[in-house]
């Protein structure tokens, strides 16, 4: 057996937000405000929750999925400048196995009366042959091929 390959990728999402960088920042630093928008899974049972937002602080969450598997998120805040930027590293685990590790940079850029949010994630995807990988295996690959095919078809 060959060792599973580690794959790397970087992606950037930009979004215009309707208020100042200072206001936008609150929605990351205040757990009650963050709760309103962050990715959540209502069907997962929360087992553990911890939120310590400051440079050097950490955030972690553990859930049990309806299938009974344990899913975990653990982040370390590396750099926090209110109203300007947040840098954090996080890892995702599934069934006690680490799936990915990422470095995330969130930038708040003043844009008129609002804010340009720039979210950059640099990820190392671990253990490509693991449980998670099997779930998004070939079928997704074939789906993607079909999409690409449709995209190049003349309309």
Partner 1 sequence: METTQRPLDLLFTALADPNRRAMVEQLSRGPATVKQLAEPAGLRLPSAVKHLQVLEHGGIVVSEKAGRSRTYRMRPGAFRQIDDWVRQREAAMEAAFDRLVQAMHDIPPEDDTP
Interacting residues toward partner 1 by CB under 8 A: 2, 5, 7-9, 11, 13, 15, 17-20, 22-24, 26-27, 33, 36-39, 100, 117, 119, 121, 123, 125, 128, 133-134, 136-142, 144-145, 148-149
* Least distance CB 61 / partner 1 (angstroms): 15
Q: Which residue, 11 or 67, is less far from partner 1 as judged by CB?
A: 11
Token representation of residue 73: 């998120």
What's 104's DSSP letter?
E
* Least distance CB 13 / partner 1 (angstroms): 6
10 Å Cβ neighbour count for 21? 20
* Locus of tokens 């295996």: 137
Q: Which residue, 33 or 76, is less far from partner 1 as judged by CB?
A: 33
* Least distance CB 60 / partner 1 (angstroms): 18
Q: Which residue, 80 or 100, is less far from partner 1 as judged by CB?
A: 100
Which helix (H) or strand (E) segment holds residue 32: the answer is helix 31-35
* Locus of tokens 């008129």: 112
Which helix (H) or strand (E) segment holds residue 133: the answer is helix 131-135
- Report the distance separating Cα 92 and Cα 70, nearest Å: 11
* Least distance CB 129 / partner 1 (angstroms): 9
């Amino acid at each position: 057996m060959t060792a599973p390959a580690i794959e790397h990728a970087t992606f950037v999402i930009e979004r215009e937000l309707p208020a100042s960088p200072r206001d936008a920042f609150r929605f990351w630093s205040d757990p009650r405000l963050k709760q309103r928008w962050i990715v959540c899974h209502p069907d997962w049972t929360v087992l553990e929750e911890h939120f310590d937002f400051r440079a050097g602080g950490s955030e972690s969450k553990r859930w049990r999925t309806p299938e009974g598997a344990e899913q975990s998120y653990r982040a370390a805040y590396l750099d926090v400048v209110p109203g300007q930027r947040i840098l954090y590293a996080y890892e995702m685990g599934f069934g006690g196995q680490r799936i990915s590790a990422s470095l995330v940079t969130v930038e708040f850029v003043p844009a008129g009366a609002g804010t340009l949010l720039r979210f950059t994630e640099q990820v190392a995807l671990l253990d490509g042959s693991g449980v998670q990988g099997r779930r998004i295996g070939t079928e997704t690959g074939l789906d993607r091929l079909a999409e690409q095919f449709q995209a190049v078809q003349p309309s």
